[in-house]
Structure 1
Amino acid sequence: MKEILSERKLGEKLTLGVQAEADEVGLYLASEDVSASCAFLPDEWDNFVEAVKAADQKIQDQI
């Protein structure tokens, strides 16, 4: 498994990490209370990133 983004602290209690293995990208998100991981195929990862960017743009437009 290749580490793409080592565990990165996003806030006081929120951590994110990204790894790749074969043809999947793994996303790990954890807080003090819960953690989740998702495996994406390359086109799913692209769609995920596009959706996050679109959501971010809408948030920026509202600020």
Structure 2
Amino acid sequence: MEEILDELKIGEKLTIGVNAAAEEIGLFLASEDVSASCAFRKKEWDRFVEAINKADKKINS
């Protein structure tokens, strides 16, 4: 498994991480209360990133 983004603190109580293995990309998100992880195929990851970028543009416009 390759670390793409080591655990990175993005808020006071929020951490994110990304790793890749074979044909999957893993996303890890955690706060002090809850954590979640998702596994994406490459095509799904690309669509996920596209959706996040689209949402970000709407938030920042």
- TM-score normalised to structure 2 length: 0.99
Identity of aligned residues (%): 67
Query: How many residues of Structure 1 are paired with residues of Structure 2 in the alignment?
Result: 61
1:36 deviates by 0.1
CA distance in 1: counterparts of 2:58 and 2:12, whole angstroms: 25
What are the ranges of 5 or more consecutive residues in structure 1 without an aligned counterpart?
none
Alignment of 1:1-63 (within 5 A): 1-61=1-61
* Deviation >2 Å, runs of 4+: none
1:59 deviates by 0.2
What are the ranges of 5 or more consecutive residues in structure 2 without an aligned counterpart?
none
The RMSD of aligned alpha carbons is 0.3
CA distance in 2: counterparts of 1:3 and 1:60, whole angstroms: 29
